[in-house]
């Protein structure tokens, strides 16, 4: 048990740092090739922050633990809105921008419903994975084109990006290697903890594993709120949820079709859809998303986790 917790914590720490290294290396290369900050922000950085979920889900699926892979994505999507966003608005209220209302949220809801429909036969096939991945590529291209037409600027929020190519490659390769080993240790530790407590892999997936892979978003959004840069928080979190479904599940199911447990379909899936839906009126009620919204979302997350743990 002690060693399982050790591998879980060590794997998580390596995942967090490796994801950051990967983003810095990728941004360094993108800047070297004179790719615009807008494109970097919408592709490289978004993909990089979903890298921990991607590596963990692929590792879990290949290990024959599909419940961990699915639980990781569903739990992360619930945590991003009900935990990370709630803590962000409790620190400092958010003014919701127009793009979040008319582009980001509808795309997140569409992705969530597509995930639900594809899971109705209790499996996400390789073909369905290809469809998900293709939708994300088309959406990203349209988003970049639309943003260029409107002359929107996207700042890349990455500090200390390496400037010389050898160091950039060290960051990039080091990040990828770290993600690989971090995912291995994190998944093995999670499975060990699950068996020690008699928890199902589905429950450990939506709780411990999902919380762990949402730590980068929690830290980034908390710091942004503390610095009163809350305009980046909501878009980043909603964008992360879109990437989790279309990229993480898309690529994972292309590599190996993922079984979806009946318990996930009858409980966790409805919580993910419900919290995504609840966000919509919250974005329109009042001028800002403030502390009342934060308390409601946090209460929903605590209720969800409590019900998960009671099912053990």
Per-residue model confidence as pLDDT tens digits over 41-88: 667 777 777 888 899 999 999 999 999 999 999 999 999 999 999 998
Tell me what pLDDT residue 254 has: 96
Q: What is the mean pLDDT of residues 88-111?
A: 89
Per-residue pLDDT tens digits for 246-261: 999 999 999 999 999 9
So what's the pLDDT on residue 79?
A: 94
The SS3 assignment for 124 reads strand
Q: What is the per-residue pLDDT for 155?
A: 54
Q: Delineate the domains of the chain, giving CATH numbers in brackets.
A: 37-154+184-310 (1.20.1420.30)
Confidence of residue 108 (pLDDT cuts 50, 70, 90): very high
Is pLDDT of 218 > 90?
A: no
How far lies 46's CA from each of 19, 61, 218, in Å? 11, 22, 15
State residue 37's pLDDT score.
64
Least confident range from 153-167, 234-248, 271-285: namely 153-167
What pLDDT was estimated at residue 22? 85
Tokens 């970049």 belong to: 144
187/143: higher pLDDT: 187
pLDDT bin (cut points 50, 70, 90) of residue 214 is: confident
Distance, in Å, from the CA atom of 201 to the CA atom of 283, rounded to the nearest integer, reads 34
Q: Is the pLDDT of residue 212 over 90?
A: no
The strand ranges marked E within 83-232 are 123-124
Identify the weakest region by mean pLDDT among 171-185, 190-204, 248-262, 268-282. Answer: 190-204
- Which residues, 6+ apart, have CB-to-CB distance to 227 below 8 Å? none
The mean per-residue pLDDT over the stretch 112-136 comes to 97
Cα–chain center distance at 188: 20
86-95, 119-128, 211-220: the lowest-pLDDT one: 211-220
- What integer best gives the mean pLDDT of the chain? 87
Quick check: 152 pLDDT over 60?
Answer: no
- What pLDDT is stored for residue 97 in this prediction? 80
DSSP per residue, 257-274: -EE--HHIIIIIHHHHHH
d(CA 93, CA 285): 13
Per-residue burial over 280-294, b = 16 or more CB atoms within 10 Å of its CB, e = otherwise: eebbeeeeebeeebb
212 touches 185 (CB < 8 A): no
Tokens (6 digits) for 252: 């994972």
Please tell me whether the overall predicted TM-score, pTM, comes out greater than 0.95 for this model: no
Query: Measured between alpha carbons, how far is 148 from 135 in angstroms, rounded to an integer?
Result: 20
Q: Say how far apart CA 140 and CA 148 lie, in whole Å.
A: 12
Handedness of CA 303, 307, 310, 312 (dihedral sign): negative
d(CA 257, CA 66): 9
pLDDT higher than threshold 70 for residue 15 = yes
Mean per-residue pLDDT for 284-299? 90
Q: Which of 30-34, 37-41, 73-77, 180-184 has the lowest mean pLDDT?
A: 37-41
Q: Report the C-alpha dihedral over residues 208, 213, 216, 221, rounded to 10 degrees.
A: -70
């Amino acid at each position: 048990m002690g060693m399982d917790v050790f591998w879980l914590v060590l794997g998580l720490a390596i995942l967090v740092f490796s994801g950051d290294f990967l983003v810095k290396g990728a941004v360094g290369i993108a800047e070297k090739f004179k790719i615009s900050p807008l494109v970097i922000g919408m592709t490289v950085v978004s993909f990089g922050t979903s890298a921990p979920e991607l590596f963990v889900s692929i590792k879990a699926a290949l290990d024959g633990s599909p419940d961990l892979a699915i639980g990781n994505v569903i739990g992360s999507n619930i945590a991003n809105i009900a935990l990370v966003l709630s803590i962000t608005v409790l620190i400092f209220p958010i003014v919701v921008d127009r793009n979040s209302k008319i582009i980001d949220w509808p795309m997140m809801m569409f992705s969530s419903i597509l995930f639900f429909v594809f899971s109705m036969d209790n499996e996400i096939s390789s073909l369905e994975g290809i469809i998900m991945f293709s939708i994300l590529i088309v959406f990203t291209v349209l988003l970049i084109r639309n943003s260029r037409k409107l002359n929107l600027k996207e700042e890349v929020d990455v500090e200390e990006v390496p400037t010389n190519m050898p160091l950039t490659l060290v960051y990039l390769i080091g990040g990828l290697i770290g993600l690989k080993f971090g995912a291995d240790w994190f998944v093995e530790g999670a499975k060990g903890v699950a068996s020690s407590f008699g928890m199902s892999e589905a429950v450990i997936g939506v709780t411990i594993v999902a919380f762990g892979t949402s730590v980068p978003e929690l830290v980034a959004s908390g710091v942004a709120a503390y610095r009163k840069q809350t305009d980046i928080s909501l878009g980043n979190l909603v964008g992360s949820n879109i990437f989790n479904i279309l990229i993480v599940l898309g690529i994972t199911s292309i590599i190996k079709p993922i079984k979806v447990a009946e318990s996930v379909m009858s409980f966790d899936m409805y919580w993910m859809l419900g919290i995504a839906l609840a966000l919509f009126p919250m974005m329109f009620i009042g001028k800002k998303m403030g502390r009342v919204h934060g308390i409601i979302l946090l209460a929903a997350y605590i209720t969800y986790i409590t019900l998960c743990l009671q099912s053990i």
